[in-house]
Structure 1
Amino acid sequence: MKNSINISTIAFEDKIYKKITPFDSLPSPKKEEDNAVILGYNCEHVSFSYFSNRIDIWYTEKTIPKGTPNSNYLPNKNALVLKMVFNGNQTLVANAITKVKNPKPLYTDIGNAFVVNQSEFEEIIIKSRYDRISIFENENINFDPKRTIPKEAELVPDKVYHFSNGSVVLKKIKITPALKNSKAVFAKLITKSNGDAYDRTGSVFVIPAKKDGVLTTILDAYLYGLNKLPVHIDKNKKEYQGIVKENSYAPAIEILSFFTPFGVDYYNSKRKINNYNWAKEVVYKQEVTSLIPTEEDEIWIGVFIGNYDIGGHTVSLELDVHPAIERKNLNTTVKYINPLFSTVNTMEMSGQNYGGLFANDTLRVNFELKENIKNLQLLYTTTGHGGWGNGDEFVPRMNKIFINGEEVFKIIPWRTDCATYRLSNPASGNFLDGLSSSDLSRSNWCPGTLTPPYIIPLSQLQKGNHLIEIVIEQGANEGSSTNHWNISGILVGQLDNIDN
């Protein structure tokens, strides 16, 4: 108080930081007329307006101690704040003034703390509240047939591996206590072009390391080839590898469906346009709490970008793990995660077929619920593809889902907001009518965006065997343009935890 400054401190990543705030830089109060007596002191009333919030303060200058519960709201250097009311509905009132003998400071070496400014201190505060698990950092995803496939016996946690001619990066991570006890988990992906000019299909996915009776996963195909995957045959006798769950096989759990922009970063300087301030990168972030199998000890996390470019793309991926504050409710349930189907061909660069069966067939998957699931939902992600004007990328198509013969969901998945992301697409083609390719509306995706899943409630489903059917009005192929759909379906919910 004697120096008329406030020093705020925080410990973060084994360092102590401090912010120094002069009193005269604090928000200025407005004098109010209704005084009050608190703890025997006649207290004056002032109010602050801060970020459209009203904070009412009652304070006295007659006490030896000085200060405030919130360092932003100090009427003057002689004040002791005894009451605060936030927006008229949250009240904090002092009930005693007690002298503490031999108080110990929270940090003993404040003099050597790192001095930071206001904005830096706010950043540190926010970062200190949650954990960040780095998965990939500036990893290259490209087409490189010379890449050597690692041997299964050599796979270890926390090491990055490249598969499918370089188009997939994969890492095994441990499930930390923070992940197990999290309130929310977000996947944050950053992409930049490293030479590829085109918009590409991308997927972030999880493969459980513990197979739980499943004999085969997509990891087996990455290691030993497509012939490890079970084959689904449509009415035209065309084969699709590993697209539905079977007794011995489960598809990967897709946690992010994304699309790269046209050449962000790499092509920024190669196509300069006045008043077009190209983005330096694209950041995708989505909550994936229900899709991370936190009952496992370890999981594989991968990123796929379909491309045949030697430069390809650069990706960074992290999980942002936010803690559960109400600990009394932790571990009373366990997650139920059951991937039923996925036509996202993450082995495209190894010959895995596109999901083009819907033109002549219905995708059918039999599944069993071994017990009743709380809050059972189907997370359904769908995007249409097939170039040129009449391709399914540019033509709205109906999607329908049936369970046990009953229609439970239908939608025409479509995005009309793609022009919003023009500044992430420097290499996008510009047409004579003034449009850019990245502006065009598409079947549920845009260059440089995420495609979040539709959430379909299925609380009516009980324990037992069921049949799910996916019907898409896929158009006919046009010349060399092949229509296809990337879809994934994952059942999620909660199971009772028998240990509680």
Structure 2
Amino acid sequence: MHLRRAIPYLCPLALLAACTDEQRSDAGTGGGTGTSESNGSTSAVTGTSAGSGGTGASGSTAGSGGTGGSGGSGDVPPREPEEVSVLENITFYDGYAETVDEPIPPGVIRHNNSLVATRLTGELLAKVQTTLKVRVVVGALCDNYDRLGSVNLALVPKGAQTYVPGQVDRIEVARFVTPFMDMNKQPKTVPYEWEASNLVPILKDPDLLAEHDFWFELGIFGVPYAANDEVPGCAGRNDTQLGSLLLYTDSTREAQDFGVLLPLAISEEFNNYATGASDKVGTTRKTVSFELPADTQDAQLVLITSNHGANQGGEEYVRREHYVYVDGELALQYKPGRTSCEPFRKYNTQGNGIYGASPRSDKEWQSFSNWCPGDVIDTRIVPWGAASAGTHEFVIDVPDATFVGGEGNIPFSLYLQAR
């Protein structure tokens, strides 16, 4: 597989809190939509909502370049599905504090209080079949606000015992928002799931495996300050959440076929007020140029965005049209936001101003929610098709975004796969 660093990397931002102002009660809402609204163009949305009734679609990837099928051939019986534990009950700590020196399981490294990683062993990689789902379970500790988390895949030089995240190629696989959770109330955990079969050709590629080890990262930002005062048992503590990462794999479909991977951006700033966060201060338009090493029969772009800004009129409270262009052609149009956040009410065991004391109507949720505390952020797969070798241009534009008071951000991640 060809691996190219298509543009110079900016230092990736630390994981951002979904809310950072501990004095407010209306910490944030919403969720991505599974519906593309462009001129007949489509995207596969790979997040699966944790609560019943969520609208994130799980299924095969659009424009994947793979073919459907049983995954088996001849008289060879299909392998049994497997669920593999990658990280189990890892404790996360105050994301603003100095990195703790607390015990961590063997084989796991702590990059900072809100980001841990583990190398995928040959034994674990051998278990990966032709399809893949990524699952995360978050447990409540001493952070009772909604926070941002993610799963990343890092390509680390072979044999390295550790690495600096900003110095290796990484892609964001999945993003989620934790609910408002009181660790003394049930349920104390919330599950998330994403379709991620497009990772199989990466994890199985002999050329990449010859030069790299694959490390999965799990990040959950947390801050304990409000819980120190508000949650019984949290006084003086700085542990914020528990996190587990699992993989589910089976052979129900043939593996997708990609031979080129271009990591393009991971959790980069995207707003209209910070220099470098957009093409020009005053606009919410971001251009990424990249180089295809050869002509490709089929290509797709994998995109993750989520709107944040908890101040009055902040970007997480206003649904905006997002436009994606590839080489000047509109490839995707979407407006984040679930039909309703009610399916996730049960996970929000800490009282908060988002859910309130009684259910909201669909219309009420749609009037202000970009995502739901306790839900996935959708991973959007944008089909591109055949493309020629050379320089190409990806543009994302949110023309109506305002970022009141110079606050808020749309963390932006992107990578390309081609064959």
Same-fold status (TM-score > 0.5):
yes
- Taking a change above 3 Å as real, the CA distance of residues 171 and 437 of structure 1, as seen in their structure-2 partners, is farther
- Number of positions where the alignment pairs a residue of Structure 1 with one of Structure 2: 307
The residue that corresponds to 2:145 in the other structure is: 198
State whether structure 2 residue 315 is matched by structure 1 residue 399.
Answer: no
- Deviation string for 1:93-120 (max 9, x for gaps)? xxxxxxxxxxxxxxxxxxxxxxxxxxxx
More displaced stretch, 304-313 vs 128-137? 128-137
Correspondence for 1:452 among 364, 375, 378: 378
Give the Cα separation in 2 of the matches to 1:412 and 1:186: 25
Q: Deviations over 1:279-298 (max 9, x none)?
A: 23111122212125212432
Q: Deviations over 1:392-425 (max 9, x none)?
A: 1010112112222222222222223212210000
Structure with larger RCO (C-alpha < 8 A, sep 6+): 2
| Identity %, equivalent residues | 23
- Candidates 90, 103, 112, aligned match of 1:139: 90
Counterpart amino acid of residue 286 in structure 1:
W
Contact 1:365 1:468 in 2 (8 A): yes
1:307 aligns with 2:222: yes
**How big is the shift at 1:434?**
4.7
Map 1:255-334 to 2 at 5 A.
255-263=173-181, 266-268=183-185, 278-292=186-200, 293-294=202-203, 295=205, 296-297=208-209, 298-309=213-224, 310-323=238-251, 333-334=257-258
| Structure 1 segments of 4+ aligned residues over 6 angstroms from their partners | 436-439
In the TM superposition, 1:226-245 aligns within 5 A as: none
Give distance in 1, aligned partners of 2:356 and 2:369: 22
Judged with a 3 Å threshold, the aligned counterparts in structure 2 of structure 1 residues 129 and 180 are, in CA distance, closer, same or farther, namely closer
Structure 1 residue 322: Cα displacement: 1.5
Structure 1 residue 355, shift from structure 2 partner: 9.3
Within 2, Cα distance between the matches of 1:316 and 1:386? 27
Matches within 5 A, 1:11-160: 129-143=80-94, 145-147=97-99, 159-160=107-108
Q: Structure 1 residues 449-458 or 332-341, which shifts more?
A: 332-341
Between the aligned partners of 2:336 and 2:111, the Cα distance in structure 1 is 31
Q: Name which of 115, 125, 130 aligns with 1:183.
A: 130
Q: Which has the larger Rg?
A: 1
Label 1:194 to 1:286 Cα distance change in 2 as closer, same or farther (>3 A): same
Larger CA deviation: 194-203 vs 469-478: 469-478
2:391 to 450, 453, 465: 465
2:349 partner SS: coil
TM-score, normalization: structure 2? 0.64
> What TM-score results when the alignment is normalised by the length of structure 1?
0.54
Confirm or deny: 8 A CA contact 1:383 1:443 kept in the other structure.
no
In structure 2, the CA distance between the partners of 1:308 and 1:487, relative to structure 1 (3 Å rule), is: same
Supply the RMSD in Å over aligned alpha carbons: 3.6
Output one character per residue of 1:208-257: Cα deviation in whole Å (capped at 9) or x when no partner.
Answer: 1249xxxxxx952x5xxxxx67xxxxxxxxxxxxxxxxxxx74x211111
Match of 2:109 among 144, 161, 164: 161
d(CA) in 1 for partners of 2:163, 2:190: 28
User: Could you tell me which residue of structure 1 aligns to residue 35 of structure 2?
Assistant: none
Unpaired runs of at least 5, structure 1? 1-127, 151-156, 212-217, 223-227, 230-248, 269-277, 346-352, 496-500
